[in-house]
Amino acid sequence: MGLVAVVDATEEYRGQMTALLGAQADMGIVLVSSAQEAFGVLASEKPFVLLLGPSITPEEAVQLAAVAGQGDAPADVIAVTRRASQDTIRTLFRAGVRDVLDQEVPSGDILSAIREAHERVERVRVTLASASECETSNKQPGRVVTVFSTKGGVGKSVTATNLGVALAARNGHRVALVDLDLQFGDVGIMLGLDPDRTIVDAVQAFDRLDQDMLKGCMTSHDSGLDVLLAPSQPEDAEIITTGRIDHVLGLLRSMYDIVVIDTAAALNETVLAALDRSNEVYAVTMMDVASIKNTRISMQKLAQLGYSADLVKLVLNRADSKVWLQLGEVERAVGARVFAKVPSDRVVPRSVNRGVPVVLDAPKSDVAKALASLAEGIARAAEEVKVDVT
């Protein structure tokens, strides 16, 4: 059995737990006297279980749980509390604390909680290890393309759904589309798909999640595209942590040749998880002043965060809209060249309402041709990578 870290400020509690756990021949213990120190121990010792004594505050427990669940060696947190209120208990569970026990419970209960958590963590670590193995060994990882904009309504989902469908309709590529707009994702509506299975199912089965199980969480579109839909209840988004998203994306990359990701109008942890996994980012903007200003700021933020300028490509949606700005002005204002232009067309809102992407609904329209040609570029890049490694 792996290591259990006992975290408490009082020597008395640490002593009690040493007596209890020390009697277990198969258990290793590390004693930690503060939450602060526990962060370091998590990183250096990689304990399987963090047992937080009653002197650790709920705030500290929440922070520790957030860190413990991350990375390639996650740990479970068990909090022992002194008559905590229902509200506190709920907060702790929401934050990812595995078990909350009252100080008064028999020591046998603490032991079995630790053993249960340990078993679970062991399974998770094995799954993580095998997932990263299949990422590196099984096949060349798929190409990840994220559609991004911190402004709402600029056409991210229209772009992502059409790219997904256009890529899937070509022969020879396995293509996945992920709706990472976790609260308000509308990819399912745009593709006319029922949200029977969503990313929530994948995240709930996280302990056991492998390629087969993840495939079972995807919804198939007639084009051949496999879609990982956003939660149907916005509040379900809360359980989807960045670490879990990253794991899901890693698995998808090992299963598909191309993974397209639609994102929310934000630059939050979820979007950063997608950007970190991306080979290409399409920053969608429109020709109005507000969108351009927004795009300039978010491009600057991405640069500050260390993303390379080559990663991000500017897609000008509704490029022919009747506004006063010229293309050159847009490029100067944003500080980047326009990589692709997608015209405005009434067939787009019609296709959105029908739940049939415009590349299928009106393939001869200019807007469908522009989106199909963007997809063509992605497919070519994916093929070049394949050729490079063979």
| Interacting residues with ligand ATP (CB under 6 A) | 149, 152-158, 181, 265, 317-318, 342, 344-345, 348-349, 352, 367
Give the CA angle between residues 94, 97, 98 to the nearest 5°: 110
Nearer to ligand ATP, 134 or 338 (CB): 338
* Residue type for position 112: S
Evaluated on CA atoms 212, 216, 222, 226, the torsion sign reads negative
Nearer to ligand ATP, 152 or 192 (CB): 152
Nearer to Mg ion, 156 or 221 (CB): 156
3-state SS, residue 2: coil
Nearest to 94 by CA among 79, 109, 80, 106: 79
Q: In terms of DSSP bridges, do strands 3-7 and 28-32 run parallel, antiparallel, or are they unpaired?
A: parallel
Quote the CA–CA distance of 147 and 261 in Å, as a whole number.
Answer: 6
Residue 348 binds: one of ligand ATP, Mg ion, none (C-beta under 5 to 8 A by kind): ligand ATP
Minimum Å distance from CB 352 to Mg ion?
10
Evaluated on CA atoms 333, 334, 337, 343, the torsion sign reads negative
Nearer to Mg ion, 68 or 286 (CB): 286
Q: Residues 216 to 275: which contact Mg ion by CB under 5 A?
A: none
Rg of the chain (C-alpha set):
24
Minimum Å distance from CB 261 to Mg ion?
12
Nearer to ligand ATP, 352 or 372 (CB): 352
Nearer to ligand ATP, 123 or 350 (CB): 350
Segment near Mg ion (CB under 5 A); pick from 63-71, 153-161, 212-220, 227-235: 153-161
Minimum Å distance from CB 164 to ligand ATP?
13
**Is residue 127 within the footprint of Mg ion (CB under 5 A)?**
no
Residue in 14, 98, 118, 156 binding Mg ion, rule: CB under 5 A: 156
Quote the CA–CA distance of 282 and 338 in Å, as a whole number.
Answer: 11
Q: What are the beta bridge partners of residue 57?
A: none
Minimum Å distance from CB 367 to ligand ATP?
5
Minimum Å distance from CB 265 to ligand ATP?
4
Minimum Å distance from CB 75 to ligand ATP?
35
Residue 352 binds: one of ligand ATP, Mg ion, none (C-beta under 5 to 8 A by kind): ligand ATP
Segment near Mg ion (CB under 5 A); pick from 84-92, 95-103, 133-141, 156-164: 156-164
303 Cα distance to chain centroid: 21
- For 389, residues 6+ apart whose C-beta sits below 8 A from its C-beta are 140
**Tokens 């121990």 belong to residue:** 41
Residue 88 binds: one of Mg ion, ligand ATP, none (C-beta under 5 to 8 A by kind): none
Nearer to ligand ATP, 152 or 216 (CB): 152
129 Ramachandran zone, left/alpha/beta (phi>0; psi -120 to 50): alpha
Nearer to ligand ATP, 264 or 273 (CB): 264
Residue in 55, 127, 149, 157 binding Mg ion, rule: CB under 5 A: 157
308 Cα distance to chain centroid: 20
- For 304, residues 6+ apart whose C-beta sits below 8 A from its C-beta are none
Interface residues toward Mg ion, by CB under 5 A: 156-157
